[in-house]
Structure formats: structure tokens, C-alpha cells
Amino acid sequence: MSFRLLLALDAALMLGGAGVETQAQPIRPLANTYVVVGESPAPSSVPLYSPSILRLPSGRLLAAYAQASKDSKRFGPAQEILLSSDDHGVTWTRRATSPELQGRLFLAGKAVYYLATGAGLPIQRSADEGVTWSAPRELTAHREVWQQTPANVWYANDSVYLAFEHRHAVIDAWGPSEKGLVLLRARAGTDLTQPAAWTFSSEQVFADVVPGVRDNAINTSGLDFFGVPFLRQNYPHRAVVAESPRRTMPPIGWVEPEVVQILDPDHDWYDPAGHTFHILARAHTGGTGFACLTKVVEQPDGSMTMSLERAPSGKPMLYLPVPGGQLRFHLVYDRQTKLYWMVGSQATDSMRRADRLPPDRFDLPYNERHRLVLHFSRNLVDWCFAGLVAVGNGPGEARHYASMDIDGDDLVILSRSGDARAKSAHEGNLITFHRVRNFRDLVY
């Protein structure tokens, strides 16, 4: 081989990697096209909330979402709409409505359930894959108020596990500080419309766990060195952050919990007995990048006890670094890749001063809702960016608060969305279906 040829080969390796030119490419959405599953009849007064999606073993997809109503005389009362699809989400058939809102769909045994939120924790059952539904039945006393969005469901020990929020006090602001996190369990083969089928864990109320929330001492001491709260709070009220438009900061807290187990024997928090569950919840801090963490341990007598997790050093861990943990996220575990997959919101501008936000930005700087992103993790701590699922045409066109399930090689995602007609990023007018194809190919 001539010296000139050697020089040419060397130059090619240096410039292009084995002679192949490479060029950086921008991130492109994985599933920006969508199917409209729900559309508001009046975007200014009938927002759509809380999508839930479930893939059944038969391949049928079930969906649910809440249609709110701020003008019941014209548009009727608020209702939950339940649908199904037998063509992989291309078309949807409306099957039923329910007065119980913001619930999640899940499979237990051979029945499908819809477990809603609100007074009494109402539940409904379907024995025919979502075609017909039983009347709602309350699992607790009506005076007890349960809140949540359509979070995930975990299956273990022949049981189903679901995380909820239990309201402990009403304050003069949005109230994650007074939410108690709780884990529910029921045997999969029983009738889950029976209150006796369910076991409730002990609860942890955020303001009981974190000293200084109720007297606002948390503003200056307590949670030191990592900027929580990021904005000053004024418990039990909203603290004014900016005027015209008015932007306010509720007291810090946790909300919208998900439940998982750690299945890796090499993980520091692994429980070989299989009776420890971890709860990851949205962390309302006024900033971004954290979720809240608790754990629940099943006791020999069948009871369940919630507490904070601890680092190997012995230090309690209330906050866990999670991209998008400042807003609702949804977790599924894929046993094929042994990875946790998370769909949630991406913040790009949380450090802007609140008084300098453009008019179409909703609420505070952290509360950016138009970029839906996908991550994966082997351990719930180290998250790898997998892709941008979908993005609106501007900050007011939301793609957020999504639910997700695995459908063969794909992820099916139902998003709380909006277009140019939406009242705001929070008050969306669409529920949209997205499919991320061959999602396991995103692993690197």
C-alpha cells in the first residue's frame, strides 16, 4: 500500500469515522401525529382532563377521560367518557359515561375496573372488556375525599397496587401540602367493587413529614442546600409571585403518585422478599427536576406501612432527581428490557422571572406543558432521554398529563392536549392518542 493511500485513509478515519460522514441531527418528535379521541364542544367552557389508557390481552384498547363543565346549563354536567378501539387506536367507539371523574382503567383477573377520584372512592366494573359497566360503588365513607390523576397500576403477589392521595385539610390554595399519600392493594381474582377486597397502607401527609411548612419556616430553613422551596410560600394561602397577569405560588407538597417495585437484586433498595414498594410523586417545589419518594413495606400480618426511604448513608430521602418531576408523569415497567419507562413534561425555561413570562405561558415558569418527552431508567434515579414524543405549536397548545401502556413493540400514549382553540395549556380541548413504535429500539 502506497504512503499516499495510507495518508488518505487516515484522513478519512479522522474526518468521518471509517470513511462514513456523520452529521448532527436535531431531535424529532417520535409521535407528533395523533388521533383525536376526545374533543371539547366548547373550548372556553368545557376543558378535557385526565386521560387513561389500557391495553387488554385481546389487543383491545380502552380509554377514558373527564369532560369538565363550567356551563352545565348549555353543555350538561361534568362526566367521564369511556371508549374502546379494536383497530390499534385508529378509531374509537364511545361505550359509556360516568358521573365519577378522573379515574384510571386497570385489569384485575378477568374483569376491567374504572377507579375514580372524589368522595367515597367510587369504582365500576366491566365483565365484557369495557362494553358495559356496573353502577359506581363507593369503597370508603362518602366524607373521605380521594384525589389522583390516572396513575399507573402495579401487579405483584397475585394482587394489584395503586397509589392515591387522601385529602387531610382544605386550605386557601391548591393543597399538595395537606395530601396524604397512600397505597391500596387488592387480590386480583376477587370482586374489587367490594370494600372488603381492599387494604389501605398507613399514610404520610407532606406537611407532617416536612417541618416548617405550616408556619412558613421552610422559606428560610429546613430543606437546605438545594433550593426547595424555589419560590417563597405563604401557607395556607397562595404567595403572589407576579402581577398582571397574576401568578401565585401555593405551599409546597406532593401530588399524583405512581407505584413501582425495584426488581434488580443489585439495587441498594432491593427487597428480596418482594414486599417493598416505592412511591414516586410529583414534587411541587416551585422549581423543576425533583420527584418525591416514599416507600411502603408489607408486614407479616398483611398491613402496609409507609415511611421515607433512606440513602445507604442513613439519611432520609424525600426528594429524588427526576426529569419532569415537577409535573405529572406516568411510569410503566418493561420486563423485556428490565427498564422503567416514563412519559412526562419537559421544562425548557424554568429560570425566567415570572413577571417576564409571555402571556401565553400558563402559571409559573416551571409549569411548562407543551413538550411531552420519554425517558428510561434501570434504577429510578439515573434517567436516559429516549425522545420527544410530541410537542404543541406553542406554549398554549399542551401535550401533557399523559397515560401510557405497552402494546407489543409499541408504547400507546393518551395525552391531555390542546390546539389553537384551547383556553390555556391547563384547560385543553383535546384528548389525543399517540403511538411510539418499536420503543425498545430507543435504548442505548
Please write the tens of the pLDDT for every residue from 58-111.
999 999 999 998 888 899 999 999 999 999 999 999 999 999 999 999 999 999
Q: Write down the pLDDT at residue 18.
A: 52
Residue 84 to residue 344: CA distance in whole angstroms: 24
Helix segments in 183-302, DSSP class H: 206-209
Bond preceding residue 29 cis, omega within 30 of 0: no
Does residue 15 surpass a pLDDT of 70? no
| 364 neighbors 354 (Cβ within 8 angstroms) | yes
Q: Extract long-range pairs of 390-394: CB within 8 Å, 24+ residues apart.
A: 390/29, 390/30, 390/31, 390/32, 390/34, 390/415, 390/417, 390/432, 390/434, 391/29, 391/32, 392/417, 392/418, 392/419, 392/425, 393/419, 393/420, 394/360, 394/370
Does residue 372 surpass a pLDDT of 60? yes
Q: Write down the pLDDT at residue 5.
A: 47
Please write the tens of the pLDDT for every residue from 28-65.
999 999 999 999 999 989 999 999 999 999 999 999 99
At residue 129, φ and ψ (nearest 5 deg) are: 60, 40
Q: Write down the pLDDT at residue 72.
A: 85
Please write the tens of the pLDDT for every residue from 157-183.
999 999 999 999 999 999 999 999 999
Q: Which domain holds residue 409?
A: 3-442
Does residue 246 surpass a pLDDT of 60? yes
Contacts of residue 280, Cβ cutoff 8 Å, sequence gap at least 6: 257, 258, 260, 291, 292, 293, 320, 322, 325, 329, 331, 380
Please write the tens of the pLDDT for every residue from 55-67.
999 999 999 999 9
Please write the tens of the pLDDT for every residue from 190-216.
999 999 999 999 999 999 999 999 999
Does residue 13 surpass a pLDDT of 80? no
What is the band of 3 on the pLDDT scale with cuts at 50, 70, 90? very low
Please write the tens of the pLDDT for every residue from 297-339.
999 999 999 999 999 999 999 999 999 999 999 999 999 999 9
What is the band of 415 on the pLDDT scale with cuts at 50, 70, 90? very high
| 238 neighbors 246 (Cβ within 8 angstroms) | no
Tell me, rounded to whole angstroms, the distance of Cα 54 from its chain centroid: 15
Enclosing H/E stretch for 376: strand 371-377
> How many CB atoms sit inside 10 A of residue 143's CB?
7
Residue 352 to residue 315: CA distance in whole angstroms: 33
Count of domains in the chain?
1
Please give the grid coordinates belonging to residue 93. Answer: 367507539
| Partners of 260 in beta bridges | 278
Does residue 364 surpass a pLDDT of 70? yes
> How many CB atoms sit inside 10 A of residue 54's CB?
25
Q: Write down the pLDDT at residue 19.
A: 52
CATH number of the domain residue 105 falls in: 2.120.10.10
